[in-house]
Chains A and B, each alone.
Chain A
């Protein structure tokens, strides 16, 4: 068994930003473990533009954005291991990883940052009946095949789900000469970013069919078509609206799930809403010394916010290594009236942040609302929004004065006030 102060699991944008900020806070004994053969995480397959507008004030591709952080990590000589998969983490922070050169190694860490990203929800999880041959892919798998391996999954495509990866793949497949016949979305709204709907569908005349779903997949060895139908207001397909679309490929963009099997082994408590850990304002989970950030904590739509959140996690991990955990009161943040969740989930009353960032998602599309934070019923913060949607994460920052008010409260509530659905 070897010892390390800080082990970071995952070398995507979250892990890289956490490592950089931990180093800048004075920590030198850091190890990043990444199972792929390169750093950069999911960004390596996102070769489209649109990353980094907030952080770098310019539009980068995924690999370009990742490269900036990889450079920072390399400049600081932070140790990282590639093709190294973490297979277990215990609650006393023994991290077990394997690779071909070191074999199986156990590392006893003072602090662990989990930055392992998320995975896609597969076909089975949404119960689509029909043929069981080839031609059904999750959108991210198709993205990897096209952008990393250089292979086209099919020529005539239907996409189920209007998540961002699905939208981006609609455009990508079109560029590669495939015909995208429709994007079919169960809900009456998209779960993707508005800019992606415009740039990836509208610009290419790809129809987006709301309140529709795939009810059957036809074909024998390979997909030969899908049957879609409109759904009623309880999301039940209406058989009389069924129509057949001929295609050889069905892509699924039906949601991402934080990758939390390791966290479960370490007894980290997970939120049933996000699938990620429940963290306090230092990004620490219920297990002392285990931190989370990035898509493993909750699924982000913009990488800039991943980096920001992860820098906080890295800094707080170093503080924990040096000073130990705070033993203080915590206030839980309650989400109501349209707000589904908020990260962090709780505040430590002894923390002294100059500013604090809260990230949240709403459960439906709402217009003309005020995103409100109250402390024991008293409004501390309000932000008017013309429209909020489940597909776009809401991000608010409170100053030290407002934080003080919250820390004194018995109950903090975040809600949407006014407005209509």
Chain B
């Protein structure tokens, strides 16, 4: 019998797992994918929102503002990339300045600090590549950027070190409650029993809820397409640049990533298939055209890849957080944006609720900090030399664009909740994330995965399931 069964290992499920691992408890995370961070948490804008956007009094506002404040310390404790670069909301038409002021007022009501409205000219002083059509902007100095999958992986690794079990390829197909305990059934036939269940299934959280709760939920998957640009375009923006929503629509953002690329997007289209993250040419063109209004110098020549993510939009338009009407069944659902930003605060809240309910004791062996994989590319030459001395595999460069060594790749595989496929390696080390998009390192990374996991190269996948890279041996 488990104390806690968590369904889903995105930032929400993993974050809660990590906070709960502060207590002595038997905790399992069930994830349908073959890795953590395979849902929405891997494909989003990566913004730690300041919190001026959410409706005052909503869960979104409350947890966003609280979560935002936790990032400086958390990013050091768990060693993931985060930077407080500040956000700007751009106004292109003096007729809309009133709306900008309203946004400011909303921010103040939500308790957001360091907000100011500045002129277009002042904005261009801070961001010289900004369009001259910008007439004013809301500056939010507390806005930040995070590497979302590295945040997710950091939560999960630290949870695992503190005793949480992560079980993969476990697609939950039924949840029921009998005699005070929960029975959770997976597609592969396995069954788990638990005292409590926490539903963190992202776009599928409504399905999980509707299996046990009389109060039904309805989540729409709202797709957003993105374009990622080379680091050579990185000089074009330092702040996260939003467009003020107008009658013309919701605009797209231009932001640096924590690794120095430029990301533009997203669009918003409701889709039927909740697992379909294919991009569409039409949407990608919209992204580029709209982003060019913010930074006219953007060039298609620097595009390196495209992707899309699915927002879990619940009909009530707010986060649903807490115990449901079924005792011991917790929902953390409808976690669309600003879910990343809110995740530390949500995790603390839910872990606290569950610990109280189960009367959990603190885990005296809890290890608070986690050290990430060393990143050769960002080290000084002296540090690099030391690293190679300690392990010669750090002297073998596998990914040339991002300068990733074999040592890092092996570490990514061997760590707790280690990588099992190319995408897992990519998110943990950046191998394959650069401008050649894995053209160069694919074969090499496949070899290392096969060697470390004791499998044949033909068994290696891109992202689990049927995503095999090769068909089999040649004749």
Interface residues of A (CB under 8 A from B): 35, 83, 85, 87, 96, 98-104, 106, 119-120, 122-125, 127-134, 137-138, 140-141, 144-146, 148-155, 176-177, 215-218, 220-222, 248, 259, 261
User: Separation in Å of the B405 CB from the closest CB of chain A?
Assistant: 8
Is the beta-carbon distance between B397 and A152 smaller than 8 angstroms? Answer: no
CB-CB nearest in chain B for A119:
B436
Q: Can you pick out 14 interface pairs between chain A and chain B where the beta carbons lie within 8 Å of each other? A: A98-B388, A100-B392, A122-B305, A123-B305, A123-B437, A125-B303, A132-B279, A133-B463, A134-B462, A137-B439, A141-B440, A144-B443, A176-B474, A261-B401
Is the beta-carbon distance between A132 and B395 smaller than 8 angstroms? Answer: no
By a CB distance below 8 angstroms, the chain A residues around B403 are 87
By a CB distance below 8 angstroms, the chain B residues around A106 are 381
Is the beta-carbon distance between B439 and A141 smaller than 8 angstroms? Answer: yes
Cβ-based interface call for B124 (8 A): no
Select the residue from B278, B283, B284, B403 with max chain A CB neighbours within 10 A: B278
Size category of the B interface is 35 or more
Is the beta-carbon distance between B306 and A155 smaller than 8 angstroms? Answer: no
Is the beta-carbon distance between B279 and A129 smaller than 8 angstroms? Answer: yes
Cβ-based interface call for B384 (8 A): yes
* CA gap between A410 and B275 in the complex, in Å: 64
Cβ-based interface call for B108 (8 A): no
By a CB distance below 8 angstroms, the chain B residues around A218 are 278
Q: Choose one: A100, A149, A222; the contact of B457 (CB below 8 Å).
A: A149
Q: Choose one: B397, B436, B465; the contact of A98 (CB below 8 Å).
A: B397
By a CB distance below 8 angstroms, the chain A residues around B401 are 261
Is the beta-carbon distance between B443 and A133 smaller than 8 angstroms? Answer: no
Known contacts A122-B305, A221-B463, A99 near B475 by CB under 8 Å: no
User: Separation in Å of the B461 CB from the closest CB of chain A?
Assistant: 7
* CA gap between A129 and B223 in the complex, in Å: 14
* CA gap between A284 and B9 in the complex, in Å: 55
User: Separation in Å of the A419 CB from the closest CB of chain B?
Assistant: 31
Is the beta-carbon distance between B395 and A98 smaller than 8 angstroms? Answer: yes
Interface members, chain B 441-456 (any A CB < 8 Å): 442-443, 446-447
* CA gap between A96 and B459 in the complex, in Å: 37
Q: Choose one: B303, B395, B436, B468; the contact of A127 (CB below 8 Å).
A: B303
A interface, over-half SS:
mixed
Interface members, chain B 403-425 (any A CB < 8 Å): 403
User: Separation in Å of the A184 CB from the closest CB of chain B?
Assistant: 16
Is the beta-carbon distance between A100 and B304 smaller than 8 angstroms? Answer: no
Is the beta-carbon distance between A152 and B472 smaller than 8 angstroms? Answer: yes
* CA gap between A148 and B457 in the complex, in Å: 13
By a CB distance below 8 angstroms, the chain A residues around B463 are 133-134, 221
Cβ-based interface call for B458 (8 A): yes
CB-CB nearest in chain A for B470:
A151
Is the beta-carbon distance between B281 and A127 smaller than 8 angstroms? Answer: yes
Is the beta-carbon distance between A122 and B304 smaller than 8 angstroms? Answer: yes
User: Separation in Å of the B218 CB from the closest CB of chain A?
Assistant: 24
Known contacts A127-B284, A129-B280, A133-B462, A151 near B467 by CB under 8 Å: no
* CA gap between A334 and B276 in the complex, in Å: 51
Is the beta-carbon distance between B439 and A120 smaller than 8 angstroms? Answer: yes
By a CB distance below 8 angstroms, the chain A residues around B300 are 127
Cβ-based interface call for B97 (8 A): no
CB-CB nearest in chain A for B301:
A125
Interface members, chain B 206-237 (any A CB < 8 Å): 228
Cβ-based interface call for B188 (8 A): no
Known contacts A127-B306, A140-B439, A221-B465, A104 near B384 by CB under 8 Å: yes
Is the beta-carbon distance between B467 and A221 smaller than 8 angstroms? Answer: yes
CB-CB nearest in chain B for A131:
B278
Is the beta-carbon distance between B395 and A124 smaller than 8 angstroms? Answer: no
Select the residue from B279, B457, B461 with max chain A CB neighbours within 10 A: B279
By a CB distance below 8 angstroms, the chain B residues around A98 are 384, 388, 395, 397
CB-CB nearest in chain B for A248:
B471
Interface members, chain B 260-288 (any A CB < 8 Å): 275-281, 283-284
Is the beta-carbon distance between A151 and B474 smaller than 8 angstroms? Answer: yes
Known contacts A98-B388, A130-B278, A35 near B473 by CB under 8 Å: no
Is the beta-carbon distance between B306 and A129 smaller than 8 angstroms? Answer: yes
By a CB distance below 8 angstroms, the chain A residues around B446 are 149
Is the beta-carbon distance between B303 and A124 smaller than 8 angstroms? Answer: yes
CB-CB nearest in chain B for A140:
B439
Known contacts A149-B443, A149-B457, A217 near B278 by CB under 8 Å: yes
Known contacts A151-B470, A220-B275, A100 near B388 by CB under 8 Å: yes
Is the beta-carbon distance between A152 and B470 smaller than 8 angstroms? Answer: yes
